[in-house]
Amino acid sequence: MWFHSCGQILPLAPMMIEAGVDVLNLMQPNVFPIPRLAELKGRVCFETCADVQTTLPAGNRAALAAEIREILAACCTKDGGLIEVKLEPIYYDGAGIRRDFGEFCHAEYRRLDPFRRHDRTAS
């Protein structure tokens, strides 16, 4: 089961996981704050990119990279735990996020992912 929330649901999350929630879609992870998501690490998969109300509209690359590092540390295990939301036009138009910044966000996830698979056949 996939569950989306724009609010702070951390106190309810353990019960939701017990009831069968597999994925928490959190498009505003700063409300938790992000390090507290580690309390659920390994018990549920998170789906997010970066905070769509604060970090992404601000357009600050250093702040975004720091937030992505924080999300990866709080949510990922070697077996998974995070689905990156690749931003679509609805976010650009509706949340005031620049398209080039959305593309930078996706590239930063690829660059910072500690579990990414490397092409071992390339020379």
Residue-wise pLDDT for 51-108, tens only, equals 999 999 999 999 999 999 999 999 998 877 999 998 888 888 888 899 999 999 999 9
What pLDDT does residue 117 have? 66
Residue-wise pLDDT for 1-10, tens only, equals 999 998 899 9
* Domain ranges (residues) in the chain: 2-112
What pLDDT does residue 79 have? 76
Q: At 30, is the pLDDT very low, low, confident or very high (cuts 50, 70, 90)?
A: very high
Identify the three-state secondary structure at position 123.
coil
What pLDDT does residue 123 have? 43
Exposed, middle or buried, 121 (CB in 10 Å: 0-12/13-18/19+)?
Answer: exposed
Bridge partners of 26? 5
What pLDDT does residue 48 have? 94
Pairing of the two strands 45-48 and 2-5: unpaired
CB 30 within 8 A of CB 51: yes
**What is the distance, to the nearest Å, from the Cα of residue 58 to the centroid of all Cα atoms in its chain?**
17
